[in-house]
Amino acid sequence: MTVPFQKYHGTGNDFLIIHADEYVPDRGALAERACDRDTGVGADGILYLALEPKFNPPRVVMTLVQPDGSVAPMCGNGARCAAEWAMDRTGTDSVMIDTQAGTLRADRTDDGDITIEMGTATFDPEKIPVDADNQVFEEEIEGLEVTMVNTGVPHAVAFVDDVDDVDLEAIAPPIRYADVFPKGTNVSIASPNGSGGFHQRTYERGVEAETESCGTGAVAIAVVARRLGRTDSDPVEVSPPGGVLRVSFNERGNATLTGPVEHEFDGEVAVESPIEP
Ligand SMILES: N[C@@H](CCC[C@H](N)C(=O)O)C(=O)O
């Protein structure tokens, strides 16, 4: 038997979207199979979305299952894709997204981009989590000087002269799996773009590879850059390989993430049939 999906991407961070009501007996196994870029459809994860249209604005419960079968508590680009998917179905320009990291408001901007409130970033070691007595600012971990922040998920942020000169697939895994991170970490590197913004590359936990874009990573870079005095721009433009994201801050210091979302195509994936009695 098969279940239908819609494929969306936000600045190249791509997802299969499956309605949460669909019968998928093993979500982890389906993600491993369908996200494979050689033998499956190919994606950075599967978003299971439960739409609750009776609320104003409508609500969407989002669960991201990653290509290694793990569930991530939050995904900035995934939440932007979920918002567009829900807006397409309800004819609204605002929705609330329920994630394991909190409920976030998303709005369509006048130029058709999707903005999402990203909550409050934290440097608290317990909340990241990182096994450290104090906040980790520019400390060497596995050969890279990193600052640890949680923007819904953990990121080790490092500033380098030029992100394109870094062999990310080589330097990121020892940090991603370092013993000090009980739940692992994403690794985001950034270099200045000359006008207050940054070029971004992120190695993602759960994908276990570099992705074209990472929303929580873009916010992590902007938050850390402002905290370290590397920029005072607002918005901070952050450019991963897949496009351009903008990170803004409100009066309470909470970040919003803005960028384009595209609906690529629809299809069906095979799942195991329910066991016959
Ligand atoms: N691509 C995402 C982040 C997804 C979660 C991450 N891989 C993790 O396991 O922490 C984004 O856009 O934020």
DSSP states along 65-102? E-TTS-EES--HHHHHHHHHHHHHHHT-SEEEEEETTE
Bond from prior residue into 235 cis (ω within 30 degrees of 0): yes
In a shared domain, residues 156 and 217: yes
Is residue 38 one of the residues assigned to a domain?
Answer: yes
In a shared domain, residues 237 and 160: yes
Look at residue 98 and tell me whether its pLDDT is greater than 80.
yes
Is residue 254 one of the residues assigned to a domain?
Answer: no
Is residue 251 one of the residues assigned to a domain?
Answer: no
In a shared domain, residues 152 and 237: yes
pLDDT on residue 276: 55
Q: What's the CA-to-centroid distance between 273 and ligand 1, angstroms?
A: 30
| CA 235/CA 219 separation, integer angstroms | 11
Is residue 83 one of the residues assigned to a domain?
Answer: yes
In a shared domain, residues 85 and 110: yes
> Catalytic: 214?
yes
Q: What's the CA-to-centroid distance between 204 and ligand 1, angstroms?
A: 6
Is residue 35 one of the residues assigned to a domain?
Answer: yes
Q: What's the CA-to-centroid distance between 276 and ligand 1, angstroms?
A: 37
Any idea what the CATH number is for the domain that residue 168 is in?
3.10.310.10
In a shared domain, residues 6 and 113: yes
From the list 218, 231, 223, the residue with the least C-alpha distance to 250 is 223
Is residue 277 one of the residues assigned to a domain?
Answer: no
Q: Which of 96, 97, 214, 236 is catalytic?
A: 214
Look at residue 130 and tell me whether its pLDDT is greater than 90.
yes
The distance from CA 57 to its chain's CA centroid, rounded to whole angstroms, is 23
| CA 77/CA 100 separation, integer angstroms | 15
Domain extent for 228:
139-246
pLDDT on residue 275: 64
Q: Could you give the angle at the alpha carbon of 262 between the alpha carbons of 256 and 265, nearest 5°?
A: 145
* Number of domains comprising the chain: 2
pLDDT digits (tens, 9 = 90+) for 215-236: 999 999 999 999 999 999 999 9
Residue with tokens 């979207």: 17
ipTM value of the model? 0.99
Query: What's the 3-state SS for 40-51?
Result: CCCCCCEEEEEE
Give, in order, the Cα–Cα distances in Å from 218 to each of 25, 192, 254.
Answer: 34, 13, 14
Q: What's the CA-to-centroid distance between 65 and ligand 1, angstroms?
A: 10
Q: Which of 18, 24, 75, 156 is catalytic?
A: 75
Tell me whether residue 76 is annotated as binding.
yes
In a shared domain, residues 183 and 208: yes
In a shared domain, residues 98 and 160: no
In a shared domain, residues 265 and 237: no
> Catalytic: 35?
no
pLDDT digits (tens, 9 = 90+) for 6-43: 999 999 999 999 999 999 999 999 999 999 999 999 99
| CA 162/CA 146 separation, integer angstroms | 16
pLDDT digits (tens, 9 = 90+) for 62-95: 999 999 999 999 999 999 999 999 999 999 999 9
- Answer yes or no: are the C-beta atoms of 16 and 82 closer than 8 Å: no
Is residue 134 one of the residues assigned to a domain?
Answer: no
- Atom 4 of ligand 1: nearest residue by CA position: 75
Label the pairing between strands 262-270 and 2-10.
Answer: antiparallel
Tell me whether residue 205 is annotated as binding.
yes
Q: Determine the residue of 216, 223, 245, 256 to mutate for testing ligand 1's pocket, defined as the one with the most ligand atoms within 8 A of the Cβ atom.
A: 216
pLDDT on residue 250: 84
- Strand-pair partners of 146: 139
Q: What residue ranges line ligand 1, CB within 6 angstroms?
A: 13, 66, 72, 75-78, 153, 186, 204-207, 211, 214-216
Q: Determine the residue of 35, 63, 74, 155 to mutate for testing ligand 1's pocket, defined as the one with the most ligand atoms within 8 A of the Cβ atom.
A: 74
pLDDT on residue 4: 98
Is residue 192 one of the residues assigned to a domain?
Answer: yes
| CA 38/CA 211 separation, integer angstroms | 16
